[in-house]
Structures are given as C-alpha cells and as structure tokens.
Amino acid sequence: MKYRIPPIVNNRYALVLIVFFAYMLFFNDADVFSVYKSNLELDQIQEEIEWYNHETTACRDRLKKLEEGGFELERLAREKHYFQKDNEDVFIVKSSK
C-alpha cells in the first residue's frame, strides 16, 4: 500500500509560505496574541487619559472659582475646614459607616 503525499507538501513554495505564516502568527515578536494584548492596554490607557483630562478640566474650573473668591471660597472653607461666623454654631454629623 502506497501512501500518497499531499501535493501541497511536494510544492516547496507552498510549504515555505505555510511555515512563514505560522512563524509570523505564533512565534514572531509581533504575533497575534501580543498585538491583541497591546491593543487592549492601549485602549485602557486612552480611557485613563480621557478621565485625567476631564478631571484636570474640572479642577482648573474649581481653582478659577476659588481664585475669584466670594461664595465659592466661603463654601469651601465652611464645608472642608469647618469655619464659622461669629454668631453661628457648627454641628458636625458623622455617619457610622
């Protein structure tokens, strides 16, 4: 009984192309899995950049309001630092959480 060799194995060019594609897909530095992982990390980093840009903008707006003074500055002093006027009492209520 003779075994037939598939024609693609007899063709050395096709065999070289198959080996080349297998190398490029699985064994190269830029294989499919590494590229996919890098793209996921890139998406995550871009989301973080957008979040930080949004936070920076919000902080700049708040700083601008604080530099102008007035009501925003007084509100911050009362809420965060428990400042009070001479004729009023401040009650601090803390939750039990």
Is 90 a member of any domain? no
Q: Does residue 64 form part of some domain?
A: yes
Judge whether 89 lies within some domain: no
Evaluate if residue 17 carries a pLDDT over 80: yes
Who contacts 77 (Cβ-Cβ below 8 Å, separation ≥6)?
83
SS3 72: helix
Most confident stretch, 17-26, 30-39, 46-55, 70-79: 46-55
In a domain, 41, yes or no: yes
pTM exceeding the 0.75 threshold for the entire prediction: no
The range of the structural domain enclosing residue 55 comes to: 7-81
What is the number of structural domains in the chain?
1
Cβ atoms of residues 41 and 34 within 8 Å? no
Position 97 in a domain: no
